[in-house]
Every structure is written in structure tokens, then in C-alpha cells.
């Protein structure tokens, strides 16, 4: 058999494979597009011609042929490979194209298996204290919206007070992944000025097992049940009591009651058909702490007693070529705080529903639209000192009791254009109306991704973002019922290089704030604040095969200002850690031992100093006189953390991990803030709550 293979323009195609389907006898074409092979078959047969990048050709023939045959091949349509790189966005866990896997999140030295602390090692986050809060690109912790399966979590942190160190509420093994965006996020997300942390719960387990963890700070048990191919659930219970941990590390005297908490969480999934599933997730947590505090006017015990819950149901289903996702949830928190004249009881509840439809119109064009409805109730009662410097129990106070209730209705539309496999455009518009402000906001957003080579990607984003102030800033006693929505504009440009072993991301950004609302030292609300933030972020992740190391480094530079609520003047932002550097290195040995080291260094954040004091004869105490707002900085911050884990299997399908970590291994005395002597003549540094500290434990699985 002989013949030629040509393209649509008549040019010869080399290396095409021509063969008989029935016998697989065949040969390849040469540079002239010609093929020849011998067969002993006669009668009807099927000639098949294949070439990468072209549509397969099948032709019915009758053997032997009368002469050469000519085959014309057409180019195959290019499959549009999704472009997943987005301005400001990172993925963790088991999501597609993750930057950090679940194992890397858990094994990050110094993160204490806390998801939010692992996120803090990304660029764009400023080092503000030792807590798990996310201060993103000059924004306050409240400007980052945390979601779980699309539901807003109004209290994502445990032990979240001004006097203690916070931790995230979520067990990392209850999550499949996190989509974290440091800015420029799409129109789907509303009511957030700075960032989005979109957590996704795990799918149904693939096997049934019991997991047990015992550590110096508490115990935990987890149950995974694989009911069937379509149904499964997980439950985790944790009791944390840090008494032994504090005694081991010489910190027990700092507390009247050491941090304690009880956690119960779980979720399940029902896959009722291909492309259709139903998920549920629930969480209930309580925490308590009593800290010894020495203020110039009063020394006593600060107490906090908190409770949080989340119940969420979400679904995914397909119709035709489109997808529908929906969810309903309720998220609540209650916190009671007490220190001298300061007493606060706060109760919040957020009930929400959402739905989103995504429809591919044609190749390279898809549409998305959605809506969300939230109802917020916030109760606040208690008393605050009339003068912030006078916390004595007999001090004059402002007593208040208020209930603020309102709703927000939001909707968005979005067009995704991918005219080729190297260019992606996302154009969106969202609208929100809140009964708290009585106004409607419109937020246009645009992002573009261009991939000129397989390794190089350029990104850009611009958008308008609005967020409703804390509901209790509207209460009439200390607040301002006329507050509008706070707003920000983002400009982001970046470049990413990813060759499979090395990932390099560089981004520059600019943010401008308007209508910011904040509380003064004395607890009163001040609105109409402005601000700006300019910065550069660098992230490098590389597998150093010749050293058997996995390493990543994140660097952030920022200059940010915002209106100081006490003076009304523009001043450096209290979150302006000019330089932040995180370096993480991990090395495995033989598949059973993993060791890691993390180094964090950052510029100290600004604070407003006390310039002098005047004696108040009526109260018998000194009244501070404050200097220029945010005119001084804390000393620079640095910390080295070490970790090691040993992996063993003691019986079939068992996984046992022994782990140990040393926080602040060099025992550096970082300063988190200053307190003052009674007459404010002496400034006393308050050292880090993490001196050199050792933490250890073991976790194991029991399949059944």
C-alpha cells in the first residue's frame, strides 16, 4: 500500500502513522509525506491515519488498491488549558495547581499545624504580633473575609483578644484546600476590603479509620466513616489544656487560668450522582483564659470566655453544560470580657444563603452570575472607662446596651474570556445593598492573565471593593448610625515563572481607602477615614534536589498610611511592618524522618508613644499625654523555629507520626508592645508570649 498525507494547504506531513485497523499493519510517512507498507489482506478494510495535533482520518478501502491514496488531515481544535494563575491568589491543600500541599501546611515549622499561620508565610502579609490574624497588604484583620464552603465565618479565630494569642478554629485535616487572595479578587466575593480566605471542607473519606492525637497541650480524636461509595462523614473532637505546656516552658505564672478550649467539628458528603453532591459541616468551640495584667492605673486579671459555632449545608449540581452551586449557613459567636472597669458581653449571629450559576457559552467564553443574602444580629452590652487610661474598677464608665440588626443583599455577574490558551480575561460587576448604611454600592472588577510561554505568566487586576463596618459601630451610644460602607481600590501587576521545580512570583500593588471607620482609645467611633498602601511582594518556592531540600521564601515591602482615629490625622498604619521575610526549609530522610526550619524577620510596627503625664488629683493617678500618632516603632522582630517528625507504620494501613517542635529556638526577646510605670516615666517592654517553647506529641490511625 502506498499513499501521501497532506495538510489542508497541500503541504506534506511527516511522521504520520498510517495503518490498517483490522491488522495494525502500517508505516510512518517520510519528509515528503509518503508512506508505504505491505499487507497480505484483501477485501474491505479501514485505513487509519494519525498525527499529533491533527484530527484522526479513517477511510474505507478495498484491497488491493488500484493506486496510491491521498489523505488530507485537518488540525485538531486546541484544547484551552485552564489558566489558574491569578493576581494576588494562592492555593493550599489538594486543590488544582496548589502552591502548598496539606502536608507542607501542617509541617511548616512555627505554624503549629494552624492553617492561618501557614498562610502568614506567604507574601503580602504583615507581621503584626504573634497571633493567627491575617493582616494583608496594609489592611486590618477585619478586612480579610474568611469563608468555609462559601459561608462567611464571623469568628474564625480562637482566643482572639487584645491580651492573648489567637489561633485558627479549623482542623487542617477537615479541609481539602484553601483559595487565598491577597487582593484583586473577582466579583463573586463581596463585603471585603483586602483579602479572601476561601476554605473548602474535605470530600467523603475513602476509608474508615479512627485517629488519635496526644500532645503536651491536649488530646484529639477523629473518626472517618466510609459508609458507601456515595456517602461518608468525619468527626473530630479536641480538648486543649495548656497547663502542662505552660509549666514546661516556664510561663504558668502569667496566667490565672491558662488557655483552655473544647472543639467539636465534623462534616459529611453525599454524592447522589455524577456531578451532583451535597455537603454539610458543623463546628462548635469554646475557649477560656485568665491573664495577669499590670496597667498603670490597675493590676488585675483579664478574663475572656468565648463560644463560636458554624452550621453550613452546600450543594453542587449540573444542568446541561452549566453548574449550580448553592449554600445556606448560620455562623455565631459570643464573647464575654472583663478587666477592671471594662466589661463587654457581645453576641453575634450571621444567617446567610447564596447561589451561583456558571454556564460555558462556547469555547473560550463562559458566564457566571450569583446572589447572596445575609442577615446580621449583633448584641452589645457592658461598660467601658470614660478615660482609656483609667481601668480601675471604681473608674467612671460609659454604660451601654444595644442590639443592631440588618441585612445585606448582593449580586454579581461575570464574564470569563479565554480567546486562546495564552490569554484569560475576567470582567465582573457586583452590587450590594445594606440596611445598615441604607445605600447601594457598585463594584466593577477586571483581571487579565497572559501566558506568553509555558513557564511565564503575566497578571494584572483592578477593582473597587466595599465592606460594611462592624454592626456595633452603628450603635447610638459610642457609634455613628450614619456610617457609609468603607471602600478600597486595588491596582495589581505581577509576573510568575513556573518550570515545575522552581516557582517565582513578583507582584506590585497600590491600594487606596475611603470612608474607613474605627474606634478611638476611649471607644468612640470615628468615620470618614482615608488611607493608602503601596508594596512589592516576592515568593520563591523551589525543590533543591541536590540537597534533598524543599524551600520557600516570601518577602514583602510595604508603605501604608491611614487616618489615626484619635487625632484625625493621616499617619503610618498600625499594620505597617515595612519589611517582612519568611524562609522555610524542609528535608526528608528515607521517607520516615522530616525536619524543618523556619526563619521570620520583620520591621517593628508603628505605635503612638506616651510623651508625658499629668497628675489627676481627683482620681489619684497619672493621665498620659500622647505624642505624635504612630511616630515610633517597636524593635524589629525575628524568630527561628525548628520541627521534626518521625513517620512509622506499626500494623497494616497504620500511620503513626511522632512530632516535636521548638518555637523561638534562639530564645529571642521580641517586644510585642510597651507598658508604662504608674507615672509613665518608665517604658517597660512586654516580651513575646513565645519565648523558647517546646511542643511534642504523637498521632496515629486505627483503620477498621
Domain of residue 22: give its range.
2-72
Phi/psi for 103 (5° steps) reads -65, -40
In a domain, 236, yes or no: yes
- Distance (Å, whole) CA 294 – CA 271: 56
Residues 6+ apart with CB under 8 A from 77: 363
Most confident of 196-210, 213-227, 503-517, 577-591: 503-517
Residues 6+ apart with CB under 8 A from 435: 406, 407, 408
More confident of the two residues 103 and 221: 221
Residue 164: which of 289, 298, 339, 296 has the closest Cα? 289
Mean pLDDT rounded to a whole number for the chain: 89
In a domain, 369, yes or no: yes
| pLDDT for residue 85 | 75
Asked whether residue 286 falls in the same domain as residue 335, the answer is yes
In a domain, 81, yes or no: no
Average confidence (pLDDT) over 456-480:
92
Q: Report helix, strand or coil for 73.
A: coil
* Beta carbons of 91 and 496 less than 8 angstroms apart: no
DSSP, residue by residue, 478-507? TS-TT---EEEEEEEEEEEEE-SSEEEEEE
- Distance (Å, whole) CA 224 – CA 206: 9
| pLDDT for residue 270 | 94
- Distance (Å, whole) CA 416 – CA 186: 11
Question: Count of domains in the chain?
Answer: 2
Please classify residue 371 by burial: count the beta carbons closer than 10 Å to its beta carbon, then call 0-12 exposed, 13-18 middle and 19+ buried.
Answer: middle
Asked whether residue 570 falls in the same domain as residue 644, the answer is yes
Residues 6+ apart with CB under 8 A from 294: 675
More confident of the two residues 535 and 479: 535
User: Is the model's pLDDT at 380 over the cut of 90?
Assistant: no
* Beta carbons of 50 and 58 less than 8 angstroms apart: no
Report the CATH number at residue 553: 2.40.170.20
| pLDDT for residue 362 | 85
Asked whether residue 492 falls in the same domain as residue 345, the answer is yes
Please classify residue 492 by burial: count the beta carbons closer than 10 Å to its beta carbon, then call 0-12 exposed, 13-18 middle and 19+ buried.
Answer: buried
User: Is the model's pLDDT at 371 over the cut of 80?
Assistant: yes
Average confidence (pLDDT) over 110-129:
84
Hey, what's the cell of 610? 506616651
Residues 6+ apart with CB under 8 A from 119: 92, 125, 134, 178, 180, 197
Walk across the sheet containing 144-148 and list its strands.
89-93, 175-181, 195-201, 144-148, 151-152
Asked whether residue 325 falls in the same domain as residue 222, the answer is yes
- Distance (Å, whole) CA 144 – CA 329: 19
Instruction: Convert 1-14 to b/e letters by CB count within 10 Å (16 or more is b).
Output: bebbbbeeeeeebe
- Distance (Å, whole) CA 44 – CA 642: 73
Asked whether residue 6 falls in the same domain as residue 95, the answer is no
More confident of the two residues 602 and 56: 602
Asked whether residue 66 falls in the same domain as residue 118, the answer is no
- What are 519-550's pLDDT values in tens digits? 998 888 999 999 999 999 999 988 876 677 88
* Beta carbons of 95 and 199 less than 8 angstroms apart: no
**Rg of the chain in Å (alpha carbons):** 30
Percentage of the residues of the chain whose pLDDT score is greater than 70 = 97
* Beta carbons of 404 and 349 less than 8 angstroms apart: no
Asked whether residue 45 falls in the same domain as residue 149, the answer is no
Query: Which range is least confidently modeled, 95-104, 244-253, 395-404?
Result: 95-104
- What are 285-319's pLDDT values in tens digits? 999 999 888 888 888 999 999 999 999 999 999 88
Long-range contacts formed by 320-326: CB under 8 A, 24+ apart: 321/359, 321/360, 322/357, 322/358, 322/359, 322/360, 323/275, 323/357, 323/358, 324/355, 324/356, 324/357, 325/150, 325/355, 325/356, 325/358, 326/353, 326/354, 326/355, 326/356
Asked whether residue 140 falls in the same domain as residue 199, the answer is yes
From residue 683, give the alpha-carbon distance in Å to each of 81, 484, 616, 650, 688.
59, 39, 20, 56, 16
More confident of the two residues 561 and 15: 561
Q: Report helix, strand or coil for 297.
A: coil
Hey, what's the cell of 406? 440588618
In a domain, 467, yes or no: yes
Beta strands in 227-254 (DSSP E): 231-241
Residue 659: which of 696, 628, 621, 703 has the closest Cα? 696
- What are 406-453's pLDDT values in tens digits? 999 999 999 999 888 789 999 999 999 999 999 999 999 999 999 998
| pLDDT for residue 333 | 94
Q: How confident is the model at residue 82 (pLDDT cuts 50, 70, 90)?
A: low
| pLDDT for residue 80 | 47
β-partners of residue 228 are none
Asked whether residue 31 falls in the same domain as residue 112, the answer is no
* Beta carbons of 585 and 615 less than 8 angstroms apart: no
| Angle, alpha carbons 407-409-414 (nearest 5°) | 155
Average confidence (pLDDT) over 2-22:
89
Beta strands in 564-703 (DSSP E): 570-572, 579-589, 593-602, 606-607, 610-616, 621-626, 632-633, 637-648, 656-663, 671-676, 683-687, 693-703
Number of H helices, E strands in the chain: 3, 43
- What are 259-268's pLDDT values in tens digits? 899 999 999 9
| pLDDT for residue 6 | 92
- Distance (Å, whole) CA 296 – CA 39: 100
- What are 325-353's pLDDT values in tens digits? 999 999 999 999 999 999 999 999 999 99
- Distance (Å, whole) CA 610 – CA 248: 36
In a domain, 651, yes or no: yes
More confident of the two residues 379 and 549: 379
More confident of the two residues 534 and 110: 534
- Distance (Å, whole) CA 579 – CA 554: 11
Pairing type for strands 637-648 and 502-519 reads unpaired
Average confidence (pLDDT) over 216-237:
92
Asked whether residue 623 falls in the same domain as residue 585, the answer is yes
DSSP letter, residue 157: E
β-partners of residue 46 are 60
In a domain, 84, yes or no: no
Residue 530: which of 538, 539, 518, 545 has the closest Cα? 518
Residue with cell 486579671: 301
Asked whether residue 692 falls in the same domain as residue 553, the answer is yes
User: Is the model's pLDDT at 95 over the cut of 80?
Assistant: no
Query: Which range is least confidently modeled, 49-58, 170-179, 394-403?
Result: 170-179
Which among 41, 72, 103 is the end of a domain?
72
Q: How confident is the model at residue 237 (pLDDT cuts 50, 70, 90)?
A: very high
User: Is the model's pLDDT at 83 over the cut of 90?
Assistant: no
In a domain, 82, yes or no: no
Please classify residue 338 by burial: count the beta carbons closer than 10 Å to its beta carbon, then call 0-12 exposed, 13-18 middle and 19+ buried.
Answer: middle
- Distance (Å, whole) CA 496 – CA 509: 15
From residue 365, give the alpha-carbon distance in Å to each of 50, 80, 85, 94.
30, 11, 18, 27
More confident of the two residues 407 and 704: 407
Which among 18, 46, 72 is the end of a domain?
72
Residue 249: which of 258, 240, 262 has the closest Cα? 258
Asked whether residue 183 falls in the same domain as residue 230, the answer is yes
In a domain, 300, yes or no: yes
Q: How many CA within 13 A on the CB side of residue 147?
A: 25
Average confidence (pLDDT) over 660-689:
88
- Distance (Å, whole) CA 237 – CA 173: 12
Amino acid at each position: 500500500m502506498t499513499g501521501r498525507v497532506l495538510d489542508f494547504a497541500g503541504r506534506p506531513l511527516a511522521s504520520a502513522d498510517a495503518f490498517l485497523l483490522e491488522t495494525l499493519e502500517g508505516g510512518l510517512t517520510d519528509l515528503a509525506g509518503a508512506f508505504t507498507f505491505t499487507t497480505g489482506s484483501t477485501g474491505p478494510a479501514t485505513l487509519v491515519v494519525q498525527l499529533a495535533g491533527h484530527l484522526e482520518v479513517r477511510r474505507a478501502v478495498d484491497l488491493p488498491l488500484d493506486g496510491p491514496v491521498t489523505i488530507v488531515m485537518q488540525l485538531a481544535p486546541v484544547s484551552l488549558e485552564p489558566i489558574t494563575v491569578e493576581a494576588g491568589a494562592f492555593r493550599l491543600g489538594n486543590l488544582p495547581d496548589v502552591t502548598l500541599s496539606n502536608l507542607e501546611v501542617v509541617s511548616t515549622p512555627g505554624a503549629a499545624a494552624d492553617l492561618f499561620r501557614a498562610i502568614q508565610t506567604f507574601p503580602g502579609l504583615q507581621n503584626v504580633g504573634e497571633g493567627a490574624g491575617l493582616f494583608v497588604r496594609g489592611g486590618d484583620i477585619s478586612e480579610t473575609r474568611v469563608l468555609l464552603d462559601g459561608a462567611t465565618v464571623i469568628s474564625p479565630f480562637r482566643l482572639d483578644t487584645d491580651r492573648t494569642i489567637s489561633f485558627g478554629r479549623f482542623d487542617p485535616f477537615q479541609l481539602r484546600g484553601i483559595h487565598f487572595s491577597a487582593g484583586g479578587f473577582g466579583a463573586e466575593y463581596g463585603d471585603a476590603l483586602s483579602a479572601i480566605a476561601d476554605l473548602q471542607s474535605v470530600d467523603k473519606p475513602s476509608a474508615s479509620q479512627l485517629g488519635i492525637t496526644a500532645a503536651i497541650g491536649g488530646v484529639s480524636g477523629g473518626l472517618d466513616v466510609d459508609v458507601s461509595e456515595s456517602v461518608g462523614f468525619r468527626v473530630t473532637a479536641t480538648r486543649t489544656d495548656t497547663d502542662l505546656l505552660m509549666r514546661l516552658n516556664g510561663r504558668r505564672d502569667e496566667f490565672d487560668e491558662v488557655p483552655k478550649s473544647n472543639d467539636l467539628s465534623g462534616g459529611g458528603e453525599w454524592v447522589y450522582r455524577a456531578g451532583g453532591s451535597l455537603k454539610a459541616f458543623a463546628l462548635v468551640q469554646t475557649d477560656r483564659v485568665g491573664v495577669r495584667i499590670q496597667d498603670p492605673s490597675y493590676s488585675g486579671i483579664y478574663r475572656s470566655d468565648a463560644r463560636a459555632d458554624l452550621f453550613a449545608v452546600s450543594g453542587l449540581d449540573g444542568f446541561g453544560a452549566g453548574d449550580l452551586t448553592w449554600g445556606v449557613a448560620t455562623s455565631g459567636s459570643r464573647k464575654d470580657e472583663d478587666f477592671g472597669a471594662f466589661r463587654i458581653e457581645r453576641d453575634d449571629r450571621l444567617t446567610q444563603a447564596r447561589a451561583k450559576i456558571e454556564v460555558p457559552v462556547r469555547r473560550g467564553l463562559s458566564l457566571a452570575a450569583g446572589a447572596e443574602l445575609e442577615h446580621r444580629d449583633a448584641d452589645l452590652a457592658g461598660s467601658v472607662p470614660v478615660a482609656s487610661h483609667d481601668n480601675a474598677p471604681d473608674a467612671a464608665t460609659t454604660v451601654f446596651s444595644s442590639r443592631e440588626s440588618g441585612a445585606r443583599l448582593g449580586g454579581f455577574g461575570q464574564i470569563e474570556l479565554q480567546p486562546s490558551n495564552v490569554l484569560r480575561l475576567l470582567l465582573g460587576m457586583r452590587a450590594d445593598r445594606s440596611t445598615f448604611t441604607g445605600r447601594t454600592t457598585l463594584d466593577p472588577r477586571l483581571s487579565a492573565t497572559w501566558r506568553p510561554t509555558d513557564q511565564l505568566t503575566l497578571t494584572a487586576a483592578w477593582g473597587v471593593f466595599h465592606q460594611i463596618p462592624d454592626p456595633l459601630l452603628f450603635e447610638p451610644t459610642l457609634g455613628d448610625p450614619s456610617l457609609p460602607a468603607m471602600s478600597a481600590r486595588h491596582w495589581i501587576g505581577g509576573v510568575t515563572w513556573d518550570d515545575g521545580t522552581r516557582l517565582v512570583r513578583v507582584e506590585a500593588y497600590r491600594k487606596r481607602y475611603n470612608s474607613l471607620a474605627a474606634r478611638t482609645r476611649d471607644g468612640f467611633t470615628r468615620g470618614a477615614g482615608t488611607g493608602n498602601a503601596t508594596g512589592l511582594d516576592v515568593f520563591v518556592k523551589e525543590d533543591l534536589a541536590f540537597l534533598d531540600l524543599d524551600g520557600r521564601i516570601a518577602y514583602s515591602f510595604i508603605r501604608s498610611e491611614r487616618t489615626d482615629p484619635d487625632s484625625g490625622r493621616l499617619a503610618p498604619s498600625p499594620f505597617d511592618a515595612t519589611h517582612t521575610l519568611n524562609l522555610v526549609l524542609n528535608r526528608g530522610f528515607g521517607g520516615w524522618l522530616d525536619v524543618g526550619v523556619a526563619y521570620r524577620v520583620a520591621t517593628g510596627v508603628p505605635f503612638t508613644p506616651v510623651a508625658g503625664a499629668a497628675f489627676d488629683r481627683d482620681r489619684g493617678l497619672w493621665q498620659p499625654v500622647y505624642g505624635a500618632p504612630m511616630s515610633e516603632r517597636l524593635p524589629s522582630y525575628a524568630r527561628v523555629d525548628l520541627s521534626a517528625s518521625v513517620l512509622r507504620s506499626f500494623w497494616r494501613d497504620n500511620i503513626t507520626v511522632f512530632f516535636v517542635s521548638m518555637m523561638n529556638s534562639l530564645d529571642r526577646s521580641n517586644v510585642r508592645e510597651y507598658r508604662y510605670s504608674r507615672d509613665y516615666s518608665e517604658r517597660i517592654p512586654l516580651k513575646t508570649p513565645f519565648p523558647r517553647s517546646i511542643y511534642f506529641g504523637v498521632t496515629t490511625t486505627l483503620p477498621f
